[in-house]
Structure 1
Amino acid sequence: MVRPNSAPLPDWVLARRRRIGEQIRQARLHANLTQQAVGERTGIDRSAIIGIEYGRSAPSIDTLLLIADAIGVPLAELVR
């Protein structure tokens, strides 16, 4: 199924994105890392990290892999 770019995302997708962002935030805090530190480890701007944690942006799988590695957790822990 192909979704047109102009079609809004279902509410459950946006809610899941926010939940994943919160899981990233919690894992980052548990690792005692700042958003700046994760950004430096990944090469991702701190503002982008903020957007991901608050569910405002949809990171690529590559970005999620970089973040998981920087935090030191399996990707599955961030997206379950």
Structure 2
Amino acid sequence: MPRDLPDWTYERRRELGDRIRHLRLRANLTQEVFAEMTGIDRRTVQRIEAGTSDPPYSSLLLIADVLDVPLEDLVRR
């Protein structure tokens, strides 16, 4: 059941997706290779980068590990 969230949460989700995309590209990884390395479905990676998906904490941990950045840097504001 979808819940209504404040507008600012959608903006923060887009910022997170942009940050992940930037770091992935900086690491010269395609979405497909990145998905394989994290164990996250490529379509899910695509939705996370687009800001249309709320990644679970465990996925954020995997993403940070593959991108070799502290989780704090990944989710910073």
Q: TM-score under structure 2 normalisation? A: 0.91
RMSD: 1.2
1:1-80 mapped onto 2 (5 Å cutoff): 6-80=2-76
Q: Distance in 2 between matches of 1:38 and 1:9?
A: 29
Q: Identity over the aligned pairs, expressed in percent?
A: 53
Structure 1 unmatched runs, 5+: none
Post-superposition, which runs of at least 4 consecutive aligned residues in structure 1 deviate over 2 A?
Answer: none
CA pair 11-21 structure 1, distance change in 2 beyond 3 A: same
The structure with more radius of gyration: 1
Cα pair 1:33 1:71 within 8 Å, conserved: no
Structure 2 unmatched runs, 5+: none
Aligned partner of 1:14: which letter? Y
Deviation, 1:7, is 3.8
Q: Secondary structure at the match of 2:51?
A: coil
